[in-house]
Amino acid sequence: MGMKFSELIEARRSVRKYAKATISKDEMTKIVEEALNAPSWKNTETTRYYAAIGDDAKAKLWSDALPGFNAASSANAAALVAVSFVPGESGYMGDTPADELGEMWGAYDCGLASSYFILAAKNHGWDTLIMGIRDKAKVKSILGIPEKEVLMSVIAVGKSAQPYFKNPRKPVAEVLKVM
């Protein structure tokens, strides 16, 4: 199964209204398995996924860990997936940060992995919303994320109940210099 890549990247848009749906552990596993193809610093693969697919965990995240607007946007989502990374590996040479960016390389890898994750989800027929605005401590405690991991976003995964909408983009000349 699957879409042409050019169609997939057009079709993937942040969705803020979901129809009721459930996702199986097997399908979530498949999507994360595909996301594991993302590149990472020295193949350290420090991104971790915590997928709430059950009603109780999702309800706690909606009531305690997401601001009202993100809880409303992700209502009915089949899954709320927290993504974090294990610090001290990506961007490191042994125990020492390789350069001035330090742990930012872990965040870079987590962003790349998240891109793969949302595109793989779309390719399986699931829409997504990355939510960077969340309560870190509450997300970590609800999902049992180890203290040392750095929490990035919570990604809603569900079936869209809104018309397709493309957020406009900058003209390419504003972001690209070709020498």
Ligand X SMILES: Cc1cc2nc3c(=O)[nH]c(=O)nc-3n(C[C@H](O)[C@H](O)[C@H](O)COP(=O)(O)O)c2cc1C
Binding to ligand X (CB under 6 A) within 67-86 occurs at 70, 73
Cα within 13 Å of Cα(151), Cβ side? 25
Query: Tokens 């009915």 appear where?
Result: 76
**Contact assessment for residue 157 and residue 79, using Cβ atoms and an 8 Å cutoff:** yes
Q: How far apart are CA 26 and CA 5, in angstroms?
A: 23
Residue 42 DSSP symbol:
G
Tell me which of 19, 59, 133, 137 binds ligand X, using CB under 6 A: 133
Work out whether 37 is an interface residue with ligand X (CB under 6 A).
Answer: no
Q: Are 131 and 70 in contact (CB under 8 A)?
A: yes
Under the criterion CB under 6 A, does residue 11 sit at the interface with ligand X? no
- CB of 9: closest distance to ligand X in angstroms? 10
96 binds ligand X (CB under 6 A): no
* Sole binder of ligand X in the list 21, 130, 138, 141 (CB under 6 A): 130
User: Closest residue to ligand X, Cβ-based?
Assistant: 132
List residues near ligand X by CB under 6 A. Answer: 13-14, 16, 70, 73, 129-133, 153, 167
